[in-house]
């Protein structure tokens, strides 16, 4: 059975992606240790992969035993909403540390394993990675940077398939925080379900080997 590693697997979208890929893949669920991650691993018969994306040394040591990897899903992400003029450079650094540098470091560390499998890298980006959103400057900037990294990886590593998924707003804990910042009433019906995004990812992974799906844009109806 092919293997798949999912970052941010304990979150709403990450756990949904893990559930969608579980029937077809041996799973490594990457994230900071938590009861939620452990419970998901037990339910799916998966392996937890404790990982702090802000620690390059931990990333290097974690990948030492991974010789071959079919699918890497970059799902982990953070967001600190607020107007540009009220932001702090520390917020920008913290956002880029996870959303960009962590994804880059993990991808580079796993490149030999991905090349060995002629694997696929899936980036969970955002509509904010295509168009700047008000009050989300550092998040939007990090997603634009992630988009550029994905495009560069696709150009420079022809043996790999690289797919970026651009979901609209999704019913997650992060969305709750954003709606609270905006001062609105939370209505989950306005947003995509994490399972919907997961089904899109699973379909991208299942794309026939002769095809290379570069980008997928998915929005609520």
Catalytic annotation, residues: 139
Q: 């990457």: which residue's tokens?
A: 30
DSSP 170: B
Give the span between the Cα atoms of 96 and 78, in whole angstroms. Answer: 9
CB atoms within 10 A of CB 185: 7
DSSP 101: I
Distance of CA 176 to the CA centre of its chain: 18
Give the span between the Cα atoms of 107 and 76, in whole angstroms. Answer: 13
Phi, psi of 27 (to 5 degrees): -105, 140
Q: Please choose, from the candidates 91, 216, 93, 89, the residue with its C-alpha nearest in 3D space to the C-alpha of residue 150.
A: 216
Query: Coil, strand, or helix at residue 46?
Result: coil
Query: Coil, strand, or helix at residue 95?
Result: helix
H or E element at residue 18: helix 12-21
């Amino acid at each position: 059975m092919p293997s798949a590693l999912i970052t941010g697997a304990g979150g709403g979208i990450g756990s949904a992606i893990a559930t969608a890929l579980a029937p077809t893949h041996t799973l490594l669920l990457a994230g900071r240790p938590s009861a939620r991650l452990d419970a998901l691993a037990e339910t799916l018969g998966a392996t937890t992969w404790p990982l702090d994306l802000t620690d390059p040394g931990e990333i290097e040591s974690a990948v030492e035993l991974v010789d071959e990897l079919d699918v890497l899903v970059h799902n982990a992400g953070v967001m600190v909403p607020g107007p540009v003029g009220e932001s702090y450079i520390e917020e920008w650094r913290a956002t880029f540390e996870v959303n960009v540098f962590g994804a880059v470091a993990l991808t580079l560390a796993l490149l030999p394993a991905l090349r060995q499998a002629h694997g696929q890298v899936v980036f969970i980006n955002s509509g904010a990675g295509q168009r700047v959103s008000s009050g989300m400057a550092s998040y939007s900037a990090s997603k634009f940077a992630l988009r550029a990294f994905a495009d560069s990886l696709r150009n420079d590593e022809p043996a790999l398939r690289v797919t970026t998924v651009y979901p609209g707003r999704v019913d997650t804990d992060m969305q709750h925080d954003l709606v609270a910042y905006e001062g609105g009433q939370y209505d989950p019906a306005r947003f995509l379900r994490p399972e919907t995004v997961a089904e899109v990812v699973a379909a991208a992974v299942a794309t026939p080997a002769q095809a290379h799906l570069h980008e997928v844009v998915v929005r609520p109806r």
